[in-house]
């Protein structure tokens, strides 16, 4: 039997996953509002891990990459141009996009550092990467971790804290520009649409906007000479 990967799990449950957005509309809209507040423009933007195209369609993003065939098929039906590929090997030339988006994607990527290096490569100078994720130290994050082994979607996922994502971004030549959070802990969390606030540490869903920084040739030479 082949290894159960995130992509074939999502192939098996693509429609169930897509229906989650209908059942949890307020949660989806809260996350969407946060992402909208971080993206300056969605033209010339690629979504990495476009899934079934829910965020891309709502944001007006026309292109994405997705390893799951079945998920990608649903996104295509929503008008998204989908490339079957992984975040670690983007099928694009250097400096191809002004903006990149990852929403609840990084937890499913096998090698996030390689994925961030690829994101850096295909972004134009001073372009932006927006990452949306569930903070593993939040209420929802802790619940996901507790039920991870029995959850059909998250068995192969690896969740991160906000500090871990920030560290990975800075180590891969990104500069943090904005951080926002939503999905706050209260009894109406799943029923009400919530507005994002600055920072992290209170909300379960965090969005980080980071810009591509360009390493000068002199700086690159110094890094190569460093022990």
Using the predicted structure, report yes or no on whether residue 207 has a pLDDT greater than 90.
Answer: yes
Rounded CA-CA distance 144/153 in Å is 10
Please give the DSSP secondary-structure letter assigned to residue 89.
B
Q: Tokens 């810009």 sit at which residue?
A: 211
Task: State residue 189's pLDDT score.
Answer: 56
The contacts of residue 10 (CB under 8 Å, 6+ apart) are: 17, 51, 68, 70, 71, 153
Retrieve residue 49's tokens. 């891990």
Q: Kindly state the average pLDDT of the residues 115-138.
A: 96
**What would the pLDDT profile of 191-204 be if each residue is shown by its tens digit?**
789 999 999 999 99
Rounded CA-CA distance 43/63 in Å is 10
Task: State residue 6's pLDDT score.
Answer: 57
Task: State residue 186's pLDDT score.
Answer: 57
Other CB atoms within a 10 A radius of the CB of residue 152 amount to 12
- Report pTM: 0.89
Using the predicted structure, report yes or no on whether residue 2 has a pLDDT greater than 80.
Answer: no
- In the chain, where are the structural domains located? 6-225
Indicate the average pLDDT of the chain: 89
Strand segments, DSSP code E, in 112-219 are: 123-134, 174-182, 197-198, 205-212
Q: Which residue has the higher pLDDT, 35 or 185?
A: 35
Task: State residue 190's pLDDT score.
Answer: 64
CATH code for residues 6-225? 3.40.50.150
**What would the pLDDT profile of 48-101 be if each residue is shown by its tens digit?**
999 999 999 999 999 999 999 999 999 999 999 999 999 999 999 999 999 999
Q: Which residue has the higher pLDDT, 180 or 217?
A: 180
């Amino acid at each position: 039997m082949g290894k159960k990967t995130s992509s074939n799990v999502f192939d098996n449950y693509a429609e169930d996953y897509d229906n989650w957005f209908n059942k949890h509309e307020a949660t989806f809209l809260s996350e969407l509002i946060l992402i909208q507040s971080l993206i300056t423009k969605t033209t010339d933007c690629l979504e990495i891990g476009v899934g079934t195209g829910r965020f891309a369609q709502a944001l007006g993003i026309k292109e994405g990459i997705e390893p799951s065939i079945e998920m990608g098929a649903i996104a295509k039906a929503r008008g998204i141009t989908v490339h079957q590929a992984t975040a670690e090997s983007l099928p694009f030339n250097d400096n191809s996009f002004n903006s990149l988006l990852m929403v609840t994607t990084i937890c499913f990527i096998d090698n996030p550092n390689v994925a961030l290096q690829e994101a850096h490569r295909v972004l134009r100078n001073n372009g932006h990467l927006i990452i949306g994720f569930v903070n593993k130290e939040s209420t929802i994050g802790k619940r996901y971790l507790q039920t991870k082994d029995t959850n059909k979607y998250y068995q192969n996922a690896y969740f991160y804290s906000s500090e871990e994502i920030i560290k990975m971004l800075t180590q891969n030549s990104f500069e943090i520009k904005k951080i926002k959070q939503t999905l706050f802990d209260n009894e109406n969390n799943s029923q009400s649409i919530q507005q994002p606030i600055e920072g992290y540490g209170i909300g379960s869903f965090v969005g980080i906007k980071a810009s591509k920084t360009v390493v000068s040739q002199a700086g690159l030479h110094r890094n190569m000479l460093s022990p």
